[in-house]
Amino acid sequence: MENPQGLLKETWHFYKKTLMLVFRGSKIYYAWCISLLAMIIVGFIFYWKQHEMGLIETNLTDQVSWGLYIANFTYLVGMAAAAVLLVIPSYIYQFKPIKEIVVLGELFAASSIIMAILFVMVDLGRLDRVWHMIPFVGSMNFPASLLAWDVLVLNGYLLLNLFIPIYLLVKFYYRKEPNWKFILPFILLSIPWAVGIHTVTAFLYNGLAARPFWNASILAPRFLASAFCSGPAIIIIIFQIIRKVSSITLEDKALFKIAELIAYSMFLNLFLLGAEIFKEYYSGTVHMASFKYLFEGLHEHTALVPWIWTAMAMNVTAFFLFLIPSTRKRLSTLNLGCLFVIVGVWIEKGPGFVIPGFVPDPLGEIHEYVPNLLELMVSFGIWATGLLIFTLLMKVAIPIETGEFSHTEYEKEGYTVKRH
Amino acid sequence: MHRWGMVIDLDRCSGCQACMAACHAENNIAIIGPEESAMGRTIHWIELLPFIEGEYPHIKARLLPRPCMHCEHPACIKVCPVGATYANEEGIVGIVYSRCIGCRYCTTACPYTVRSFNWYKPQWPKEMEGSLNRDVSIRGKGVVEKCSFCHHRLLKARERAKAEKRELLSEDYIPACVQACPSNAMYFGDLNDPFSTVSILSRERRAFKLLEDLGTEPKVIYLSEGM
């Protein structure tokens, strides 16, 4: 189609334009990126201290050996899985407003997975041996270990969520209709895969007979329900930001549709939680200790009690905000609801889920855990890494989507073709 | 084939902690100071767990020596993502320290909390460094460790038996804690041999295993205390 020189020129054009897009932006864009970079650097400095001295630098103990890192990991896997909520309506029911934003949703899932993987990596005692867990390079304890499963499904999901949007964006770049017969199977595969990553992550905790708080079959459904609340909530917020700072147009209709989906998921989430609480409290076995620690405090140890009740209040409020059409369709209350869901679910399935698994420990010892500064800083650093990756991806993906950034052939023509 | 097991008679145990001291010396367990210990970072391969029986005024303070249970169905082995934990053919559950990535999934899965994580680089006073046991490898920062039933002693005993051109006898091999117990509260031997002391004791009416309902099938059997 082209001579080698033309191809070289075209490649150069692509990279030059990409760099220009990434490095040029408004003052707010610069401020945003620089503050994220600063957080990443601070996080890295703190992590380096932990890497050199060992995990003694954290507040983790023999009794509570997973903490803030693993809590964030669990939450972020849910975030990533939630991208599927956008895929189902957009590709299967051809719901147009969501279809325009699905590529962005998938890139968001990819960024979440990267954060989730980073959170596991900083939790390891020996990061230098992480290659034992790389498929085909190391030798994993597959299929016995659920952590090995998690490595496989998370990496698979990451590849899938990079491949699909990149394929679509490349097609948009060349102004060609995507070959749906080729890409649709991948898109369809990503739906069960999203359910899979979160199920596997739930099973990772679920299979431990030593930890009755996690050893409940309701865990995987609860995980999915709460993920389908928090993921879409953050996507609603992000899409409003994107709408404001770029030329992409997103109809309110799409946001309201997503909010409606959150209402259903939140109902399921609260229902499943209620079912579990009923079973624990009514049967009143010794396995109730962790629940008691979480909701009431155990033997005057009450570190998590204010947190979980805050989460409960936020989740219930958000449920009503999303349920009632008038509050759902007003941006101010919609955003408030989203904020409640993001924070509420984070507490519920982050620290509110991981820590009570360890309190009391199998011997009945009660050791409370509150993360220290280092853990907070490393966590902020990882969140900043994910947000920066997502920002830069958006900076390139959005112009391709809108047709501002495409093959030279079309750029010269100076007109934009509307897709769809 | 041997199937190594231990019996701990709680009626005989005086709670003197000689087993702990012997274990620490034998297995090069790091010296953990009071500060780290208070923060909840200790390492013990065998530990005396305190527990209270009954209610006041009919109350008894008890101590329970707890090594690794070397379960027949261990929760720790299947969860390890890199296969760093294994059970050998004689039922001893071991860790390949050089493979461990320090994810602490096994410490979370073990119902007996026998596994310790190295939160920092282990240290010994300078005077002690020369007296470490050369048969036991030193664990570095960031890996998990636990009781091995003094597996190195089994290897040595087997070598000796081979040199003497005879079969390995149960008496050839005894872990440091059992050897150190001054009140003969601990027994060690082959559970596959129906006439060994441990086998006979394991069939006693007083015999019980910890958290039996979890289906782990521990190879450490306790004999309950008289009231």
**CB distance from B108 to chain A under 8 Å?**
yes
Q: Is residue A331 part of a domain?
A: yes
Task: Give the nearest chain A residue to B111 (CA atoms).
Answer: A210
Which class for B177: exposed (0-12), middle (13-18), buried (19 or more C-beta within 10 A)?
Answer: buried
State the ipTM, two decimals. 0.91
Fold designation for B4-223: Alpha-Beta Plaits (3.30.70)
Q: Among all chains, which residue has been given the structure tokens 């879409």? A: A232
Instruction: Work out the minimum CA distance from B218 to partner chain A, whole angstroms.
Output: 14
Cβ atoms within 10 A of the Cβ of A159, count? 13
Domain holding A180, by residue range, is 19-404
Please tell me the total count of domains within chain A: 1
CA A236 to chain centre: 13
The CA distance from A274 to B36, in Å, is 40
Give the type of residue at A393: L
* Segments in A246-364 forming alpha helices (H): 252-283, 289-295, 305-323, 325-328, 331-349, 351-354
Residues of A with Cβ-Cβ distance to B111 under 8 angstroms: 209-210, 362
Residues of A with Cβ-Cβ distance to B218 under 8 angstroms: none
Instruction: Work out the minimum CA distance from B161 to partner chain A, whole angstroms.
Output: 35
The pLDDT, as a whole number, for residue A324 is 93
The CA distance from A405 to B67, in Å, is 66
The CA distance from A119 to A378, in Å, is 9
Q: Name which of B35, B49, B108, B121 to mutate to probe chain A: the one with the most chain A Cβ atoms within 10 A of its Cβ.
A: B108
Instruction: Work out the minimum CA distance from B122 to partner chain A, whole angstroms.
Output: 11
**CB distance from B121 to chain A under 8 Å?**
yes
With a pLDDT cut of 90, the percent of chain B lying above it is 79
B28: left (phi over 0), alpha (psi -120 to 50) or beta: left
Give the type of residue at B195: F
* Inter-chain touch A208–B141, beta carbons under 8 Å: no
Which class for B149: exposed (0-12), middle (13-18), buried (19 or more C-beta within 10 A)?
Answer: buried
Q: Is residue A2 part of a domain?
A: no
The CA distance from A355 to A71, in Å, is 8
The pLDDT, as a whole number, for residue A411 is 64
Task: Give the nearest chain A residue to B39 (CA atoms).
Answer: A61
Task: Give the nearest chain B residue to A140 (CA atoms).
Answer: B82
Contact status, residue A248 vs residue A242, Cβ threshold 8 Å: yes
The CA distance from A404 to A406, in Å, is 6
* Inter-chain touch A132–B101, beta carbons under 8 Å: yes
Q: Would you state the structure tokens that stand for residue B158, as one six-digit string?
A: 């087997």
The pLDDT, as a whole number, for residue A413 is 58
pLDDT tens-digit readout, B51-78 = 888 888 888 888 999 999 999 999 999 9
Residues of A with Cβ-Cβ distance to B42 under 8 angstroms: 62
Tell me which residues of chain A have a C-beta less than 8 Å from any C-beta of chain B.
Answer: 53-56, 60-66, 120, 123-126, 129-130, 132-133, 138-141, 144-148, 151, 204, 207-211, 357-358, 361-363, 367
Residue A222 sits in a domain of what CATH number? 1.20.1630.10
Q: Is residue A415 part of a domain?
A: no
Bridge partner list, A301: A298
* Inter-chain touch A124–B103, beta carbons under 8 Å: yes
Going residue by residue through chain A, which has 420 residues, state the pLDDT in tens, using 9 for 90 and above: 557 787 888 888 888 888 888 888 889 999 999 999 999 999 999 999 999 999 999 999 999 999 999 999 999 999 998 877 777 777 767 777 777 677 888 899 999 999 999 999 999 999 999 999 888 888 888 889 999 999 999 999 999 999 999 998 888 888 888 888 898 889 889 889 999 999 999 999 999 999 999 999 999 999 999 999 998 898 889 888 888 887 777 788 888 888 888 999 999 999 999 999 999 999 988 889 999 999 999 988 999 999 999 999 999 999 999 999 999 999 999 999 999 999 999 999 999 999 999 989 888 889 999 999 999 999 999 999 999 999 999 888 888 888 788 877 776 655 444 444
Task: Give the nearest chain B residue to A53 (CA atoms).
Answer: B120
**Cα distances (angstroms) measured from residue A302 to each of A72, A298, A307, A409, B98:** 21, 7, 10, 65, 39
Q: Would you state the structure tokens that stand for residue B104, as one six-digit string?
A: 């602490």
> Widest CA span of chain B, in angstroms?
60
Instruction: Work out the minimum CA distance from B187 to partner chain A, whole angstroms.
Output: 24
In sign, the C-alpha dihedral spanning A379, A365, A279, B210 is positive
Residues of B with Cβ-Cβ distance to A129 under 8 angstroms: 82, 99-102
Q: Name which of A47, A51, A56 to mutate to probe chain B: the one with the most chain B Cβ atoms within 10 A of its Cβ.
A: A56
The pLDDT, as a whole number, for residue A392 is 93
Contact status, residue A348 vs residue A315, Cβ threshold 8 Å: yes
Residues of B with Cβ-Cβ distance to A66 under 8 angstroms: 104, 108
Task: Give the nearest chain A residue to B107 (CA atoms).
Answer: A65
Residues of B with Cβ-Cβ distance to A47 under 8 angstroms: none
The CA distance from A203 to A191, in Å, is 19
How many CA atoms lie within 13 Å of A172's alpha carbon, on the beta-carbon side? 22
The pLDDT, as a whole number, for residue B73 is 94
pLDDT tens-digit readout, B173-190 = 999 999 999 999 999 999
Asked if omega into A232 is within 30° of 0 (cis), the reply is no
Contact status, residue A315 vs residue A269, Cβ threshold 8 Å: yes
Q: Would you state the structure tokens that stand for residue A403, as one six-digit string?
A: 């047709």
In sign, the C-alpha dihedral spanning A7, A11, A17, A21 is positive
Instruction: Work out the minimum CA distance from A61 to partner chain B, whole angstroms.
Output: 5
**CB distance from B208 to chain A under 8 Å?**
no
Residues of A with Cβ-Cβ distance to B216 under 8 angstroms: 209
Instruction: Work out the minimum CA distance from A49 to partner chain B, whole angstroms.
Output: 12
Q: Which helix (H) or strand (E) holds A244?
A: helix A219-245
**Cα distances (angstroms) measured from residue B172 to each of B46, B104, B156, B160, B179:** 22, 34, 9, 9, 12
Contact status, residue B184 vs residue B204, Cβ threshold 8 Å: no
* Inter-chain touch B101–A126, beta carbons under 8 Å: yes
* Inter-chain touch A211–B105, beta carbons under 8 Å: no
The pLDDT, as a whole number, for residue A316 is 95
Q: Is residue A416 part of a domain?
A: no
Assign A83 to helix, strand or coil: coil
Instruction: Work out the minimum CA distance from B100 to partner chain A, whole angstroms.
Output: 8
Task: Give the nearest chain B residue to A61 (CA atoms).
Answer: B40
Give the type of residue at A44: F
Strands ordered across the beta sheet of B4-9 = B186-190, B4-9, B220-223, B207-208
**CB distance from B15 to chain A under 8 Å?**
no
**CB distance from B104 to chain A under 8 Å?**
yes
Q: Examine the pLDDT at B9 and tell me if it is beyond 90.
A: yes
Q: Where are the domains of chain B?
A: 4-223
The CA distance from B178 to B67, in Å, is 11
Residues of B with Cβ-Cβ distance to A152 under 8 angstroms: none
Q: Which of B165, B118, B161 is nearest to B140 (CA)?
A: B118
The CA distance from B52 to B61, in Å, is 5
Q: Name which of A64, A65, A213, A369 to mutate to probe chain B: the one with the most chain B Cβ atoms within 10 A of its Cβ.
A: A65
The pLDDT, as a whole number, for residue A380 is 97
Closest Cβ–Cβ partner in B101, B110, B215 for A125: B101
The pLDDT, as a whole number, for residue B57 is 87
Average pLDDT (B95-120) is 94
Q: Is residue A81 part of a domain?
A: yes
Q: Which of A121, A115, A116, A119 is nearest to A133 (CA)?
A: A121
Q: Is residue A1 part of a domain?
A: no
* Inter-chain touch A362–B112, beta carbons under 8 Å: yes
Q: Is residue A9 part of a domain?
A: no
